[in-house]
Amino acid sequence: MKSLSKWLALAAIVITFLVSFNYIFDKKLDLNGDNANYLTYARNIAAGHGYSALSWDGTYAPVNHFPPAYSFVLSLFMRCGIDNIVFFKWLNGILMLLVILIISHLAARLADNDWLGLAVGVFLALSAPMLHFATMVMSEMNYAFFSALTFLCLWQYTETQEQGAKDNAVWYTNPWFYGAALSAMAAYYFRTMAMALIFAMLIFFLTRKEWQQTLATLAIAVITYLPWVMRNKAAGLESRYFGTIMTVNPWRPEQGTISTPGEFIEKVIKNIDETVIKAFTESLFPFVNVNYNETSSWLAICGALLIIAVMIYGCFANRRITWLLFAYFVGNIGLFGLWHGGNGIRYVVPLIPWIVMTFYLGITQLVRLTVK
């Protein structure tokens, strides 16, 4: 694309997003209970009570149900006198647009095809699940933004490292490395699913045989995670995640905890069916009728496996970040399997940009292969 064409493509993505976002925008608070929790915690922070909830006895008790970053960000606006649901929803919308632009840019660079970047950008601007969650007072878009920023920083890191090798520059003077590591940890403070992102970064550096960068990433992750651990320990709070992993179904507590390997395997299979087989399909083909209350048919499973195969092929479109993309999907799928079902596409929403990008990268690679 020429310079003018790139600006027109950017305008097409932005206009598509603004029209679709404005069309589905709902000023009311979403019925999802997490909205109210995030707002309550934010108001408590803004009022000087810390990251807490009001107890039955009238005191404010520390909480750790969610990572604190999203409520903290909301509290900053509240301290400035802005406590408006519509404002917070539009803020999420802006973050969604930034995610789309970053992923569109990466898709174009990975495929060396600006038209692919435009196609990915427009597709994401029309993504119903992403638009839905962008209009909630929820952390998904914040998490997706910092995840996308991590990928962008690592892409820039590979480019500057190649140039730096020519200039005999050392890696620890590369600002993109620190940008990636800190963005990944920022993502973690919005959603613990960022463990998959940190895992992917470590695999990325290991496969490049950059041992010092691997250790530095691990050190940054530990150092920035410690304050949260120390705070929770001082408050006498335990992580809820292990308990949830070992629960058969948190929505049906009467079913108890997992007691046999067979029950654990059954739970993982159900979770993978919901989040990968069904949600990946819905992410790419919204016109397909997906029923989350039924076990997937063999046809649906085969279709989803074909989608995953194309996505894996798309990960190899550009060898610079092949293992970063691949490890990111492996990490996410692993966490999906360990967590719990009953949420439909929700947990997959922040991953949709990467699903769409790698799928269309794979399709592009296949077309190029057949043309040759």
335 in any annotated domain: yes
282 in any annotated domain: yes
Token pair for 45: 């922070």
The SS3 assignment for 57 reads coil
What tens-digit pLDDT sequence spans the chain (372 residues)? 667 778 899 999 999 999 999 999 999 988 876 899 999 999 999 999 999 998 888 889 999 989 999 999 999 999 999 999 999 999 999 999 999 999 999 999 999 999 999 999 999 999 999 999 999 999 999 999 999 999 999 999 999 988 766 555 788 899 999 999 999 999 999 999 999 999 999 999 999 999 999 999 999 999 999 999 999 999 999 877 776 777 777 766 777 778 788 888 988 999 999 999 999 999 999 999 999 989 999 999 999 999 999 999 999 998 899 999 999 999 999 999 998 777 889 999 999 999 999 999 999 999 988 886
114 in any annotated domain: no
pTM here is 0.95
164 in any annotated domain: no
Q: Residue 11: left (phi > 0), alpha (psi -120 to 50), or beta?
A: alpha
174 in any annotated domain: no
Own/partner long-range contacts of 122-127 (Cβ < 8 Å, ≥24 apart): 122/12, 122/13, 122/16, 123/356, 123/360, 124/99, 124/100, 124/352, 124/353, 124/356, 125/13, 125/16, 125/17, 125/20, 125/97, 125/100, 126/16, 126/20, 127/283, 127/286, 127/352, 127/356
271 in any annotated domain: yes
351 in any annotated domain: yes
Give me the number of domains the chain comprises: 1
Domain extent for 340: 241-372
Q: How many Cα atoms within 13 Å fall on the side-chain side of residue 314?
A: 24
356 in any annotated domain: yes
